[in-house]
Structure formats: C-alpha cells, structure tokens
Amino acid sequence: MQNFTDHPFYKLTVHLTELPKLILILPRYVKRGLVMISDVLISALSVWLAFGLRADRWGVLQGNQWLTFILAVAFSLPLFFYFGMYRTIFRYIGSAALSAMVRVFIGYSILYFCVFSLIGVGGIPRSIGVIQPMILFIGIGISRYFVRYWLGKINTTQGASRRAKPVALIYGAGLSGRQLAAGLAINKDVLVKGFIDDDPLLHGNTINGISVYSSDQLQKLIFELHVTDVLLAVTSVSQARRREIIASLNGRGVRVRTLPGLSDIASGLVRVSDLHDLDMNDLLGREVVSAEVELLEKNIRNKVVLVTGAGGSIGSELCRQIIKFSPKSLVLLDSSEHSLYLIYEELKRALIGFQKNHLEIIGDDQTSQPIPDLPIQLAPCLASVRDDDLLKQIFRFHRPATVFHAAAYKHVPLVEQNPVEGIRNNVFGTRTCAKVSFEYGVDNFILVSTDKAVRPTNVMGASKRLAELVLQAMAEISDKNGDSTNFSMVRFGNVLGSSGSVAPLFSAQIAAGGPITLTHSEVTRYFMTIPEAAQLVIQSSAMAVGGDVFVLDMGEPVRIHDLAVKMVYLSGLLVKDEANPHGDIEIKVTGLRPGEKLYEELLIGNNPQPTAHPKIMKAHEEFLSWDNLQLELDRLSRALDACDIKLIKGILKKLVPGFHPTGI
C-alpha cells in the first residue's frame, strides 16, 4: 500500500506551503520583476473584462482595441514607478501604500479617460475609459493585499513553534493606540484583543475590528481574554492621570509596557521587542521637576564648560544636557578610559550624525586638542582630579568658565571597605580641582553632592560632607578676593537608573526569576531621575552667590519595599510571600549593610531658603575657615598615608558633625 506522504498531491501541497519562503529569499530585483509581470497581466485582464462588460459578451481584442491594452501598460507602469509602488514591501503594506495607490489611480484615470472617453478612438466605446481604470485598480489592490496576507503568515507560523504569543490590551484608543495596533497586526508578534479608553463615547465601538472597553471592565477582560500584557498608548494625558492608570494596573497579573517611538510605529515594523518597560518617571510616583531654560543656559551658552566624572551616571547626563544649550566647547574629564570613550562617542554622534573624528594631542603635555569642525568642540581628557599638574595643564589650555565637579566614588559599601581611596578621591580630589579652578579664574564651580552627606553613618557620606566643607571654605576665600570663582554645591537623593541604584538591580533580579534582595523592609529614600538631577545641578549653578548648598524639594521619600513590589507587579508577576506562597518573585531581606541608614535627610539645619526656582531650596550651613580646615586635612592626609583607619574615622568624626562611624 502506498504511503500517503508519497502521494503526488501531498508532495504538491508541501511544495506550495514552502513557496512563500522561496519567494522571500529571491533577490529584490527578481521579486520586482515578478510584480511588474503580474501588473501587466492584470492590465490585460482588466481590458478584456472592460470590453466584455461593455459588449455583454466575451471575445478577443481586435484592431484598435489592442491600443487600450498597450496604453494601459504604458500609463500604469511609469506611474507605479514614480509613486514608489515597486519599492513597497508587500508584507508591511499599510496606509502609506494605499495613499500612493490612490494617487496613481487618479493620475491613470485622468490619462485613460482623456484618451478613450474625452478624445475618443475609433472602434472603442467611450465608456471603456471609465470602466477599465476601475477594474484595473480593483485588481491591483486585491493582488497587493493577497500577497501581504499570504507572505505575512510566515511570521506567525515561525513564531508559533517558539512560544505562545502575548495577548494584549492597548490602553488608549487615540491615534497612537490605533497606530500601535496596526503595527502589531502587521508583525503579529502580539495578539491585540481590545482597547481600553477613558472616553465614554468610544465604549462599545470597534476600531479596525478591535473593540473599545471602559477601564471598569479591565479586570474582567484580563480574566476572560487571558490577557498577559497591557500596552500604554496614552501620550496626551497628564502625568497625574498616567500615574493613576499605572497604579490601577498594580497586582493585575499583567505586564505593563509603554509605547515605542512613533517613528517605529509609522514604519509598520513594530515588534514585541520594541515595546518598552515603564521608564524611571513612571516608577518615581511624583511630578517630574520642570526646568527653566534661562537658568539652564546662563552658565553654559557660548562658554567653555568642563565636567569632571564625565563618564559617570550624573556626569554623562550633565554632558547630554549641556550640549543642548550651545556651549563654546565642552571638556570631558574622567579617569576611566572606557567611560570617557563611551560618552565622547555618544556626544559626537549626537552633534554630527555619527561622523568619525580622531583625537589629536598637542606636543607632550598630555592635554587634549578639541576636535575641529564639530558644532560644539569636544575635548576628552583622560585624567584624575587628584593630579594637580595635569589639571593645571588642562585648565591652562582650555580656560573653562564653568566647572561641574561630578567625579566621586559613591557606592557606600565599596567606600566603606576602601576608605583610604574613597577619601583621597572625594575629598582631596575636590580640593585639588577647586584650587586649580580658583587659580585659573573659573567663574562658577559646582560640586555634585548627596543627601548621604547629612548626618552620615558611612565613610562615603562623610567624605562628601567634607568635600562640601572644602567648597564652603574656598567660597569664603573667593568672596574676600572680590569678583572671583563662585563655589556652590547641589545635594540630592538617590538617582533612579544610575549605576548601582536599586531600580536596575531590581529589574535584573526580576528578569532572573528573583529573589529581590532588600537590606531592610523599612528603608526609605528620596528619588529623582537622572535628567532631573542633571538639570537641578545646572540650574542651581545659575542661582549661586557663593558657598550655597542647594537641595531639591523632592516630596515624600519612597519606601524601597514598595518600589520593589510595584516593579514586580508591573512586570506581570506576583510577589511570593506568606500570603501568596505560589507567587513568582520573592523579596528577601538581607540586613543593613555597613554604614547604611534606614532613611536619608537633605538638610543639616532647618532653615531652607527659597530660590528663583519653586522646587529648589538653599541653605548656608556651618563650616570651618580655610586655615583651620587645612590643618585638619593635612592631619587626615598623614593618616591616609599610614592607612590608620581608626584615626581616619576619628578625624572625620571631628570634622563632620553628626558622623557616627562604625569600628571606633
């Protein structure tokens, strides 16, 4: 008995199912040629049908009737080329291709109508000039969308073997939501089951075959439709409403993701991988502090600006913000070659569209030459802020007017275990950089500080407060010298998304299946986004009068445990605990690390003063005179050389009020 798989019909079926894949791998010019042949055949068919419908009988073209076919091809193919219909990828055909087809139809119909209906040709009924264009473009449209459907099934077939497709609801039925749904329908990576929208006029209606529901039906829909993802397409709502929507999705057991760029959607190539997890602003839970342009550009526009620690989280964002306000040049200073390279290349791409340039060195003095022909001159300088001689060479060559000092060791446990290097960098690096700035006439010097400098319990926080004391003492000297360097400092809380911060750590732990490690269930922190932090630093520098400590009104501190739970829920997972032993992600408390506090503060005293910015405050806090501070710093330097940790912490305790170190 013959095996069914050997039957000719079965073999033909297998070959037919493989045909779309074979077509897709053909060279582009071959596929374009096949489409042109198809269009010629459709033109011939449309002429034959037009004559048959007009004469009420089917026959063969005769005499002048062949002219209708010749001109159909002569008119249509050039128009198809001109309007880009042969450049379209049929699998991703959409509104743009439809628009082009309409323009071709109008142009073709006018030409064909003028020749065969308006002017007329012997032996050809004038109605052919109207009937044939209509049949032709019905045929062209059907052929295009048939190929889109036929070849588009390949993505679905290939994806089915890997895993089940996500089932999604799109929150927002406006233009962005409709574009997202159309893009995902083409790619078929995500199955969209409905829209959620706040507009009651849309409820119960359908958009492109997809039903629109109210937010009150959300929980029911998630259960009945087996929804795995909710995609946010609410680009026009306020931040407050966006936070309400996100809060309403907490604990629903769905992953919440947000809209990709509209350019990606418009291209018709949206994939599930293009959808983003919620950004740091969504996790912040408060209004993002708005920036004032006048303050941002005051110390930047047409000036030479230098950023230390330019490759770090805050330093690199400072650089991104600074180039928006047209400095004369930007000097990037960092001791990490890799970090400096990354930010330098990023800024070059931002300024000149990925143009490649090479760094030039002047002589043997190790000073970086600014790259010519850039809209803004960039000068990457590989140097340590503790290297007095090299800093002087850099400042002498570039003559910066504004210095943002972001170079610091900031990770609490690492500095706690390596106090000598941490203090040398954070304290003595700041002193060296400030003294060189003063010597070379820098107009504004701004220190990036931290809330951990307030009544610190760790060496890192104490070193940052001591760096503030250096700046305050330098400000007093500068003030006595009249119009000289303006020293100030900016103190803020944790930065979401920066290296070592909890949000990226929690994201990685969730992706790995947990557990999330938390040092204490009651730990709270002030949070802000990286762009907010950078803009705060820049704006504060514009309001400084000397020795100021600026802080941000950051609202209420955030409980880290609550942040972790929120991140788990918005990933479509559930917290695993005693109440829910079958959950997905466990939150494990590991105990406070050495020097870690349960909560942070922003002010040492209770006398914050308002500034020109409604969300920025300042305080003049007690400090030591330069002469007295120098004596203690010299003593601290000798203790560092001797690696006498007990003496080091003792000196820090004397210099920094409220410092309560461990181990002495």
Range of the domain at 270: 167-278
Q: Which residue has the higher pLDDT, 615 or 96?
A: 615
Distance between CA atoms of residues 442 and 436, nearest Å: 9
Same-domain pairing of 427 and 488: yes
Distance between CA atoms of residues 130 and 128, nearest Å: 5
Q: Using pLDDT thresholds of 50, 70 and 90, give the confidence band for residue 571.
A: low
Per-residue pLDDT of 290-344, as tens digits, reads 667 778 888 889 999 999 999 988 899 899 989 888 899 999 999 999 999 999 9
Handedness of CA 545, 432, 330, 319 (dihedral sign): negative
Q: What is the dihedral of CA 228, 232, 233, 235, to 10 degrees?
A: 180
Which pLDDT does position 423 carry in this prediction? 94
C-alpha triplet 347, 350, 352: angle, nearest 5°:
105
Per the structure, the count of domains in the chain is 3
Per-residue pLDDT of 234-268, as tens digits, reads 766 666 677 777 777 776 677 777 765 444 444 44
Q: How many helices (H) and strands (E) does the chain have?
A: 23, 25
Q: Using pLDDT thresholds of 50, 70 and 90, give the confidence band for residue 367.
A: very low
Same-domain pairing of 333 and 438: yes
Same-domain pairing of 415 and 445: yes
Per-residue pLDDT of 57-102, as tens digits, reads 787 777 777 887 888 778 877 877 777 666 554 544 555 556 667 7
Is 663 part of a structural domain of the chain?
A: no
Q: Using pLDDT thresholds of 50, 70 and 90, give the confidence band for residue 638.
A: very high
Per-residue pLDDT of 147-194, as tens digits, reads 666 655 544 444 333 345 778 888 888 877 887 787 777 666 678 888
Which pLDDT does position 384 carry in this prediction? 94
178 CB-near residues (< 8 Å, 6+ apart): 207, 208
- Residue 498 contacts residue 406 (beta carbons within 8 Å): no
159, 188, 206: which is the final residue of a domain? Answer: 159
Which pLDDT does position 128 carry in this prediction? 81
Torsion region of 328: left, alpha or beta (phi above 0 gives left; psi -120 to 50 gives alpha): alpha
Torsion region of 162: left, alpha or beta (phi above 0 gives left; psi -120 to 50 gives alpha): alpha
Same-domain pairing of 220 and 308: no
For the cut 50, the answer to whether the pLDDT of residue 270 exceeds it is no
Q: What is the dihedral of CA 266, 272, 276, 278, to 10 degrees?
A: 120
Which pLDDT does position 132 carry in this prediction? 80
Same-domain pairing of 315 and 223: no
Q: Using pLDDT thresholds of 50, 70 and 90, give the confidence band for residue 357.
A: very low
Q: Using pLDDT thresholds of 50, 70 and 90, give the confidence band for residue 104.
A: confident
Per-residue pLDDT of 116-159, as tens digits, reads 788 878 778 888 878 888 888 887 777 776 766 665 554 444 43
Same-domain pairing of 177 and 138: no
Is 662 part of a structural domain of the chain?
A: no
For the cut 80, the answer to whether the pLDDT of residue 387 exceeds it is yes
Distance between CA atoms of residues 494 and 597, nearest Å: 13
Distance between CA atoms of residues 662 and 595, nearest Å: 7
Tokens 């089932």: give the residue: 167
Is 231 part of a structural domain of the chain?
A: yes
Distance between CA atoms of residues 96 and 80, nearest Å: 14
Which pLDDT does position 10 carry in this prediction? 42
Mean pLDDT of the chain: 76
Dig out the tokens for 441 from the structure.
């006439």
Distance between CA atoms of residues 384 and 390, nearest Å: 8
Which pLDDT does position 586 carry in this prediction? 83
The whole-number average pLDDT for the span 461-476 is: 90
Is 195 part of a structural domain of the chain?
A: yes
Which pLDDT does position 425 carry in this prediction? 94
110 CB-near residues (< 8 Å, 6+ apart): none
Same-domain pairing of 440 and 351: yes
Is 660 part of a structural domain of the chain?
A: no
Which pLDDT does position 438 carry in this prediction? 92
Give the CA distances from residue 137 to residues 47, 74, 80, 194, in Å, rounded to whole numbers and listed in that order. 12, 15, 12, 33
For the cut 60, the answer to whether the pLDDT of residue 271 exceeds it is no
Which pLDDT does position 382 carry in this prediction? 95
Same-domain pairing of 380 and 423: yes
- Residue 132 contacts residue 109 (beta carbons within 8 Å): no
Same-domain pairing of 642 and 598: yes
Which pLDDT does position 432 carry in this prediction? 95
Same-domain pairing of 479 and 412: yes
For the cut 70, the answer to whether the pLDDT of residue 419 exceeds it is yes
Per-residue pLDDT of 196-221, as tens digits, reads 888 888 888 888 778 889 888 888 88
Per-residue pLDDT of 474-524, as tens digits, reads 888 877 766 688 898 888 766 665 555 676 677 778 777 778 888 777 777
Report the percent of the chain where pLDDT is more than 90.
Answer: 17
Which pLDDT does position 424 carry in this prediction? 95
112, 138, 159: which is the final residue of a domain? Answer: 159
Is 285 part of a structural domain of the chain?
A: no
Burial of 495-513, coded b for 16+ CB within 10 Å and e otherwise, reads bbbbeebbbeebbebbeee
114, 132, 159: which is the final residue of a domain? Answer: 159
Report the percent of the chain where pLDDT is more than 70.
Answer: 70
For the cut 50, the answer to whether the pLDDT of residue 11 exceeds it is no
What does pTM read for this prediction? Answer: 0.59
Which pLDDT does position 73 carry in this prediction? 79
Q: Which residue has the higher pLDDT, 390 or 218?
A: 390
The whole-number average pLDDT for the span 222-232 is: 82
Same-domain pairing of 183 and 205: yes
Distance between CA atoms of residues 526 and 468, nearest Å: 20
Distance between CA atoms of residues 334 and 308, nearest Å: 6
Same-domain pairing of 361 and 384: yes
What CATH code is carried by the domain that includes residue 189? 3.40.50.720
Q: Using pLDDT thresholds of 50, 70 and 90, give the confidence band for residue 596.
A: low
Q: Using pLDDT thresholds of 50, 70 and 90, give the confidence band for residue 464.
A: very high
